[in-house]
Amino acid sequence: MSILAKLFPETLFPRKLSADAEQRVRLAQARAEETLVRAHVENALMFVDTLATDVGYERALDIYVRELAIPDPLASVVVTRALVALGEALVPAAEGADADAVPAPALRLDEAAARRKRA
């Protein structure tokens, strides 16, 4: 028997969580992931707005994901939700829609294309 096993028996620090504790951990993890996604979406929308005069919104989202090195499953969710927010800004949702939407900045989606045409 190793010295660590004598100092820290399994009964003091069980490796497996109880079902209730495991469920609470999953719920806390889900809340944390949702908060992270919302923060990324808000920042991605500000990033799109900031670069609106230089690049289109799709390119700005690509740059955001690449520069922040967001891993692929999360990046896909962030880009999709940002595109939904941008789409809702162009085509308002029907009455009674979700009031918990991410706030979007005023959009200037056509400025990059208009600037290229002028140049």
Residue 47 lies inside a defined structural domain of this protein: yes
Q: Which pLDDT belongs to residue 102?
A: 63
Residue 10 lies inside a defined structural domain of this protein: no
Residue 73 lies inside a defined structural domain of this protein: yes
Q: Which pLDDT belongs to residue 16?
A: 79
Q: Is the pTM of this model over 0.85?
A: no
Q: Which of 82, 86, 62, 58 is nearest to 72 (CA)?
A: 62
Residue 67 lies inside a defined structural domain of this protein: yes
Residue 86 lies inside a defined structural domain of this protein: yes
pLDDT at 95 over 90: no
Domains identified in the chain, total number: 1
Residue 12 lies inside a defined structural domain of this protein: no
pLDDT band per the 50, 70, 90 thresholds, residue 18: confident
Give me the domain span that covers residue 59.
Answer: 18-91+103-118
Residue 83 lies inside a defined structural domain of this protein: yes
CA distances (Å), 19 to each of 24, 25, 26, 32, 56, in order? 9, 10, 11, 20, 48
Q: Which pLDDT belongs to residue 100?
A: 64
Cβ within 8 Å of residue 19, ≥6 positions away:
none
Cβ within 8 Å of residue 69, ≥6 positions away:
none
Residue 30 lies inside a defined structural domain of this protein: yes
